Structure 1
Amino acid sequence: MGRIVYCNGDFMPEEDARISIFDRGFLFGDAIYEVTAVLAGRLIDNDLHLDRLERSLAALSIPMPTPRSRLEQIQAELMARNGLSEGTIYLQVSRGEADRDFLYPEGLAPNFVAFTQARKLADTPAQRNGIAVDLAEDPRWARRDIKTAMLLGQVLAKRQARAAGYDDVWMVEDGLVTEGASSTAFIITTDGRVVTRPNSRSTLPGCTRKAVLRLCGDHGLRLEERGFSPDEAGAAAEAFATSASSFVMPVVKIAGSAIGDGRPGPMTRRLQSYYIEAALNAEPLHP
């Protein structure tokens, strides 16, 4: 039996799930999504992800497709039906379906789909050895704080970086790094300060970012929320990226510059350990 997904009120085999060709997420990218990691049968930072889902939907005036408590039940049921102990759960809510028109009618019922993806997240080769990131001018729209399904800019940037031999890409605008194509960018200065850009409309307010900032406070690490340039990033002692599916990912090369000695640094290793420890101590979600 294959994967079981959720589609507009029902659990079903993935091959039976259908969305109309008039769905506005398909026609206009008029949709919001979230991805929550699952580790050892626990949803990681799920409250932060559902907070962001609600905030993003409200910013586009799309109603919640179902009460939040029901969303959590659906997530738990998907984990149980698919035997998921490690991987991700993807949620997507579109405005709904109507004949193609930029001006949508009022009162559309949102379409809501959710599915699991089983994959190894913790202690991967990339997390052990670090990744190389390219730099690219940020091509995205102005409201990056809303987690929309419009990801073509990121798709193109990631493909270009991969073709050039890099694992990922960080975006640059007005001389400063904004964020990764699907992650938050961090550097650690030579005097041990953890630096990341503050939240604004230019960046997505990362859920893993928020959890890592909390860990910095809990463990007495010095933190600065400010912008940094590609040159400062290249001269940093350490660098890392955070996301729901990669947790704390060491970055050992940025464009042509090796970071530190070209290996994951000690503070990044500490933050990796702190994050996994906190994740494994989270309460498991039961259907």
Structure 2
Amino acid sequence: MPRAEVGSNKYVANKMKSAGLQRLRWWCEICAKQCRDANGFKCHVQSESHVRQMQVVGENPQKYIKQFSDDFQHDFIALLRVAHGEKWINANKFYQQYIAAKEHVHMNATRWNSLTEFVKYLGREGIVRVRESESDNDKNMSMEIAWKDTSAAAVKRREEIREIELAEARGGAGEEKMLKKMARRAQGEAEEKARILEARKAAKQDSASPLTQDKSASPSADPTDEKKDSDENSNDAKSADGQAVPAAPVKISFGLKTKALPPTQMKKTQSVFKRARADKENEEKPKKKLRL
């Protein structure tokens, strides 16, 4: 049965039926035809057009495999560059985005048997960056990929960024050295000041030590000196006859009160009335006039 003409009702109906992704095992890469079930794929393989195409491919299969592999790699990397740039993404998740387009080159037509083998090949060739990471749902390790820009402009930009980072690192190292030097200088000055203060304190203690020794030695020397003085006073107090003369008592006054006289020297004071009477008596009495 011939194919439906492009734009006909049969063609539109077939497109609507084949909307979305179908089974990969029912896809024929040589004829670029998707079958909806196993029976349809069997009928397609037995068709005259498919047999003729397979005879052409059989003459030089490596040529077609290489072409399909190059196309698959080119489309895969182009979508990765446009969609995610240099950001990391799970390889299996990105592959699902890639095969969303129905006209993409399928992996069963390439020289790679699995996605893991294809990702490892890209990593070995330096086309993309590859790393292993633990998935969120499972504890199994999964592959992550990121596009690697190898253009001349990108390389130049990376070199400029590296030079800026090195300059900043050198500047930071210079600043750290300067700060360390300043810290050592400040520490040395502080230690020197501490030594000067300690020396001053020691000098003060040395200058004050003789006075303290004299003060501490004076109480111990006082008893003997007092004894000597007392002996000398006692010797002076003795008279030539050998009899001891008692020393006069010493009285201390602070000028607040008058000195009290001893009882022997105290004078008796007369009262005011007696003093007035005595004055009257001393006055001369008027003489009486005699009558002749």
After TM superposition, the score normalised by the length of structure 1 is 0.23
Structure holding more helix per residue: 2
After TM superposition, the score normalised by the length of structure 2 is 0.23
